A = this chain, B = another copy of it.
Amino acid sequence: MQTETTAPVPGEGSCAPRRGRPRSEAAEQAIVASVERLMEEGSGLTELSIERIAAAAGVGKATIYRRWPNKEALLVDVLARLEQMPVPPHAGATVRDSLIAMVDDIRRRGLAKRSRWVLKTALGQLDSWPELRVLYKEKVIKPRRELARQIIRRGVEEGVLRDDLDVDLLTEMVVGPILIRTVLWEDAPLDDEGLAERMVDAVLTGAGVRPSGGESH
């Protein structure tokens, strides 16, 4: 921890002139990097101890506790910044393209070990860990859902998506399959480039056979 430059409080706007020695941005990055590395190495929640993180980052425990009130908050912060939404609101020209882009973004995230760790570990703690629940909802679920909502609403307006279902149900139909494959069915491959497209098409068309020809069933 030699070169140290100014860094404000993690997720806080500059509130005051910040007297005293500023917090080391290098320390912060080292901490986050250590957490991510340990996640990638397959550590569970227990193995991800503050002492291990501090040792791996070459940082004192107090430097971590100065920024985050406890282990949970640190992990929440790390996963929040991993799960930010860098997807442009409408990545595609058509609604179908937008949906494919969204699904494919989830798929690509699922390929990264860190992100899968986040998704799965966070999920398991949502009940017993209210802060994580709030933050996860605010930072991960909400923007994602908002994006889905926008796309779907556009799709409904354009007459591409059904208007007799509420938006939540539509969202679940689009997002559910890929998330299930990410989280639950680990054998199922995620490295299939065309997966998102096939999935979206299947969801748009439906699982039932089309009444092609004229009559259904």
Mark A residues whose CB is within 8 Å of B: 42-47, 116-117, 120-129, 141, 159-163, 165, 168-170, 172-181, 183-186, 188, 198-199, 202-212, 214, 216-217
The answer to whether B126 touches A120, judged by C-beta atoms less than 8 angstroms apart, is: yes
Residues of B with C-beta under 8 A to A172: 176-178, 180-181, 185, 188, 199
A-B contact pairs, 12 of them (CB 8 A): A45-B125, A120-B125, A124-B125, A162-B209, A173-B177, A173-B203, A179-B180, A179-B184, A203-B203, A204-B208, A205-B208, A216-B217
The answer to whether A206 touches B209, judged by C-beta atoms less than 8 angstroms apart, is: no
- Closest Cβ neighbor of A120 among chain B residues: B124
Residues of B with C-beta under 8 A to A184: 123, 141, 179
Copies in the complex: 4
Residues of B with C-beta under 8 A to A162: 202, 205-209
Query: Min CB distance, A14 to chain B, in Å?
Result: 23
- Closest Cβ neighbor of A129 among chain B residues: B44
Partner of A173, one of B121, B186, B207: B207
Residues of B with C-beta under 8 A to A202: 162, 165, 169, 173
The answer to whether A207 touches B203, judged by C-beta atoms less than 8 angstroms apart, is: yes
- Closest Cβ neighbor of A44 among chain B residues: B128
CA distance A209 to B124 in the complex (A): 36
- Closest Cβ neighbor of A122 among chain B residues: B124
Residues of B with C-beta under 8 A to A207: 161-162, 165, 170, 173-174, 203-204, 206
- Closest Cβ neighbor of A121 among chain B residues: B124
Query: Min CB distance, A110 to chain B, in Å?
Result: 12
Residues of B with C-beta under 8 A to A169: 177, 198-199, 202
Residues of B with C-beta under 8 A to A214: 212
Partner of A209, one of B159, B198, B199: B159
